[in-house]
Amino acid sequence: MITRTKQLWQVGRQVQVGFLRFTVQAAIATPGDGLSDVYFLTNLAGDKLFRFTPHHGLERVSLEEAERQVAAAHRECERIAAAAISKAAKQDAARAAITRIFGEAA
C-alpha cells in the first residue's frame, strides 16, 4: 500500500494523481510478488473507472476488466489463506507429536 505520502490511499478517500482528483474504490495488495499494489479509482462524478499502479501510471478501465482483476485478487487471497491454514495444521500436528513423545519421557 502507498504509505510514503501525505494522502490516505484508503477506500472511500479522495486522492490526487497529478492534477486530477479521484475517489479510491478498491486497493488490491500484491504481497510477496514484488509488484506494485493496484488501486481502482473513480472520478469525482463516479461515472468513470481508472486503475492506478504506482510507477506504472493511471489508465481507464472497463467494468468487466476491473471485475476480472478483483475476482483474480480474491482467488489469490483464498489460495494464500488455504496455504497458511494447511501450514498451521501441519505445525500443530508436529507440536502435538513432540509433546506426546517428550511429554511422556519427562
Distance CA 93, CA 40 (A): 41
Q: 45-49: long-range contacts (C-beta < 8 A, 24 or more apart)? A: 49/25
Is residue 3's pLDDT more than 70? no
Average pLDDT over residues 79-100: 92
Average pLDDT over residues 80-98: 92
Per-residue pLDDT tens digits for 4-52: 668 888 889 999 888 999 999 988 877 666 667 889 999 999 899 999 9
Rg, C-alpha atoms of the chain: 21
